[in-house]
Structure 1
Amino acid sequence: MPDTTVAAVPNQGETVTVSAYLATRLCQLDGHHVFGLPGDFSLSMLDEMLTVPGVEWVGCTNELNAAYAADAYARARRGVAAVLTTYGVGELSAMNGVAGSYAEDVPVVLVSGMPPSRARADGLLLHHTLVDGDHDHFVRAYREVTAAGAVLRAATAVAEIDRMLLTAINECKPVYLGIPADVAVARVPAANLALPLRRSPSDPTSVQQFRDALTALLAQHPSLTVLAGPRVHRRRLEGELAALADLPGVRIATQAGAKAMLDEAHPASLGTYMGGMTRSEITRDAVDFAPLLVLAGTTLSDVLTGLFTHRFTPEDAVELGFETARIGASLFHGVRMEDAVRILHETAAERDFAPLPPLPPLTRPEVAEGPASDALTQAQLWAEIQQWMPDGVTAIADAGTALYGALGLQMSHDSDLLAQPIWSSIGYTLPATLGICLARPESRSLLFIGDGAAQLTVQELATILHRGHTPIIVLINNAGYTIERAIQSPKAVYQDITPWDWSALPSVLAPGVPSLTSTVRTRAELAEALVEARECTDRLVLIEAVLDPSDAPEMLVELGRGAARANGAPSVPVEQAGRSTGDSSR
Structure 2
Amino acid sequence: MRMQIGTFLARRLKEAGVRHVFGVPGDFNLSFLEQIHDARGIEFVGNCNELNAAYAADGYARTSGLAAFVTTFGVGDLAAIGGIAGAYAENVPVVHITGAPPLHAVNSGALVHHTLVDGDYENIGRCMSEFTVAQARITPANAAYEIDRVLRSCWLERRPVHLQLPSDVTHIVVEVPDAPLLLADPASDPRQLRVAVQRIVEALDAARAPVLLVDADADRFGVTDLIVKIAEKCAIPCASLMPAKGAIDETCSHYIGSYAGAASAASVRHVVENTDCLIGVGLRFTDSSTALFSQRINMESFIDLRRHDLSIGTTQMPGVTLRDVLAGVHESAKSNSRPLAGELSAPANLTDPAPVSDDAPLTHATLWPRVRRFLQPGDVIVGEAGTAHAGLVSMSLPAGASYIAAPTWGAVGFSLPALFGSHVGASSRRHLLFIGDGSFQFTAQELSSILRRGLKPVIFLLNNGGYTIERMILGENSAYNDVDNWRYTDLARAFDRHDRSLSIEVRTVGELDVALGRAESADCLVFVELNLPKMDAPALLKQFACHLANFDYGECGPRNSAPDLTQGAKAPAHRAHGERVGA
Q: Same fold (TM over 0.5)?
A: yes
CA positional deviation for 1:343:
2.3
Q: How does 1:152-231 map to 2 (within 5 A)?
A: 152-231=138-217
Q: Aligned residue for 1:17?
A: 4
Aligned equivalents of 2:309, 2:428: Cα separation in 1: 35
Q: Aligned residue for 2:320?
A: 335
Q: Aligned residue for 1:262?
A: 248
Letter aligned with residue 56 of structure 1: E
Q: How does 1:142-541 map to 2 (within 5 A)?
A: 142-278=128-264, 280-314=265-299, 316-348=301-333, 350=334, 352=336, 354-358=338-342, 359=344, 361-369=346-354, 370-536=356-522, 538-541=523-526
CA positional deviation for 1:366:
2.7
1:75 counterpart (54, 57, 62): 62
CA positional deviation for 1:441:
1.6
1:263-285 per-residue CA deviation (whole Å, 9 max, x = no partner) reads 2232211111111111x200011
1:24-65 per-residue CA deviation (whole Å, 9 max, x = no partner) reads 111111111100011111111111233221110100000000
Letter aligned with residue 340 of structure 1: V
Q: Aligned residue for 1:11?
A: none
CA positional deviation for 1:121:
1.2
Q: Secondary structure at the match of 1:356?
A: coil
Letter aligned with residue 140 of structure 1: R
Aligned equivalents of 2:203, 2:178: Cα separation in 1: 44
1:427-461 per-residue CA deviation (whole Å, 9 max, x = no partner) reads 10100011111221221001000000000001111
Kept in 2: contact 1:222–1:354 (CA 8 A): no
Aligned equivalents of 1:90, 1:187: Cα separation in 2: 27
Q: Aligned residue for 1:57?
A: 44
What is the aligned-residue identity percentage? 35
1:520-573 per-residue CA deviation (whole Å, 9 max, x = no partner) reads 01111111101110111x210011000011111110011101110101241575
CA positional deviation for 1:219:
2.7
Kept in 2: contact 1:490–1:577 (CA 8 A): no
Q: Aligned residue for 1:122?
A: 108
Q: Secondary structure at the match of 2:473?
A: coil
Aligned equivalents of 1:404, 1:567: Cα separation in 2: 19
Aligned equivalents of 2:299, 2:335: Cα separation in 1: 23
1:150-205 per-residue CA deviation (whole Å, 9 max, x = no partner) reads 11111111100000011110111101101111222211223344353433222222
Stretches of structure 2 lacking an aligned partner (at least 5 in a row):
561-573
CA positional deviation for 1:371:
2.5
Q: Aligned residue for 1:582?
A: none
Aligned equivalents of 1:137, 1:320: Cα separation in 2: 37
Kept in 2: contact 1:162–1:197 (CA 8 A): no
1:47 counterpart (31, 34, 42): 34
TM score, norm. by length of structure 1: 0.93
Aligned equivalents of 1:499, 1:137: Cα separation in 2: 40
Q: Secondary structure at the match of 1:242?
A: helix
Aligned equivalents of 1:439, 1:317: Cα separation in 2: 38
Q: Secondary structure at the match of 1:16?
A: strand
Change (3 A) 1:195 1:83: closer
Q: Aligned residue for 2:19?
A: 32
Q: Secondary structure at the match of 1:154?
A: coil
Q: Secondary structure at the match of 1:305?
A: coil
CA positional deviation for 1:513:
3.4
Kept in 1: contact 2:458–2:519 (CA 8 A): yes
Kept in 1: contact 2:95–2:154 (CA 8 A): yes
Kept in 2: contact 1:485–1:577 (CA 8 A): no
Q: Secondary structure at the match of 1:446?
A: strand
Aligned equivalents of 2:331, 2:362: Cα separation in 1: 50
Q: Aligned residue for 2:571?
A: none
Q: Aligned residue for 2:569?
A: none
Of residues 192-201 and 509-518 in structure 1, the stretch that sits farther from structure 2 once superposed is 192-201
CA positional deviation for 1:306:
1.3
Change (3 A) 1:419 1:292: same
Kept in 2: contact 1:33–1:58 (CA 8 A): yes
CA positional deviation for 1:216:
2.5
Kept in 2: contact 1:401–1:483 (CA 8 A): yes
Aligned equivalents of 2:539, 2:275: Cα separation in 1: 27
Kept in 1: contact 2:546–2:576 (CA 8 A): no
1:390-442 per-residue CA deviation (whole Å, 9 max, x = no partner) reads 22211000001000011112111111111111001011010001111122122
CA positional deviation for 1:329:
1.8
Of residues 337-346 and 87-96 in structure 1, the stretch that sits farther from structure 2 once superposed is 337-346
CA positional deviation for 1:379:
1.2
Letter aligned with residue 296 of structure 1: V
Task: State the Cα RMSD in Å.
Answer: 1.7
Of residues 350-359 and 450-459 in structure 1, the stretch that sits farther from structure 2 once superposed is 350-359
Q: Aligned residue for 2:566?
A: none
Of residues 91-100 and 378-387 in structure 1, the stretch that sits farther from structure 2 once superposed is 378-387
Stretches of structure 1 lacking an aligned partner (at least 5 in a row):
1-13, 579-586
Aligned equivalents of 1:495, 1:289: Cα separation in 2: 41
Change (3 A) 1:315 1:168: farther
Aligned equivalents of 1:181, 1:315: Cα separation in 2: 55
Q: Aligned residue for 1:583?
A: none
Letter aligned with residue 254 of structure 1: S
CA positional deviation for 1:387:
2.2
Letter aligned with residue 550 of structure 1: M
CA positional deviation for 1:141:
0.4
Letter aligned with residue 72 of structure 1: G
Kept in 1: contact 2:431–2:458 (CA 8 A): yes
Letter aligned with residue 379 of structure 1: A
Q: Aligned residue for 1:9?
A: none
